[in-house]
Amino acid sequence: MTEIKPSTTPTGRGLAFERGVVLAVAVLAVVVGALVLLVGTGWFGLFRAQRPLADPILVEWLSGHARLALAVAAVLGVVLFVLGLWWVVRALRPESRPDVRLERGSGELTVTAAALTEAVRADAEQVTGVNRARVRMAGDERRPSLRLTLSLQEGTNVRQVWEELDGKVLSRAREALGTETLPTAIRLELDRAPRQRVR
């Protein structure tokens, strides 16, 4: 009997990069805020705490080098704008659905994501107790993975569904792709029984 292990395949797009950037900005803001608070309360000496927020030496230097300061500020603004635009485009870009290339002998065969997901969906809907199945490809061309969402009938034996899914559906997909492993995230939903009207 196959041991059921928690899937490590993400059920949604990975947000590690976005979370990392937000965390770095938050840590930087906390550090700067704490430093300003310590300077303002006099931890680094009363002279520093009583100085104006805009350092007179810095203000004098900026007024003496206005063109250079303006050019640096403009370049910095453009760089930040481009970075922000790149981040927005990256976040809004649709997630890739990789096709899989198979090398058979001297030839090469490409299985499209749509063909594979349709075949897996059709097989999954033949499993006992499954009403509907939704399938998506994820990962990349070198490490493809699947995401399955199964709508089960009320009272379905989940272990039997898992055994049929692994023994019939996923094994066929692995065999078709010529691989021993195909990471798969499975989400189970229970279809509600139709309501009966009381007369």
Helices 56-64 and 66-92 sit at what angle, rounded to 10 degrees? 100
Task: Answer whether 167's CB lies under 8 Å from 175's CB.
Answer: no
Distance of CA 156 to the CA centre of its chain: 31
Partners of 187 in beta bridges: 149
Q: How many CB atoms lie within 10 A of CB 147?
A: 21
Task: Answer whether 179's CB lies under 8 Å from 171's CB.
Answer: no
Q: What is the pLDDT of residue 75?
A: 95
Distances, alpha carbon 51 to alpha carbons 57, 142, 173, in Å:
11, 59, 70
Taking the chain (199 residues) in runs of 10, the rounded mean pLDDT of each run is 50 67 90 86 75 74 85 93 87 72 67 84 89 84 83 86 87 82 84 60
Partners of 146 in beta bridges: 137, 184
Partners of 189 in beta bridges: 151
- Alpha helices by DSSP H, listed for 65-198, are 66-92, 113-124, 158-164, 171-177
The pair of structure tokens assigned to 25 is 């900005």
**48: Cα within 13 Å, side-chain hemisphere:** 11
Q: What is the pLDDT of residue 36?
A: 83
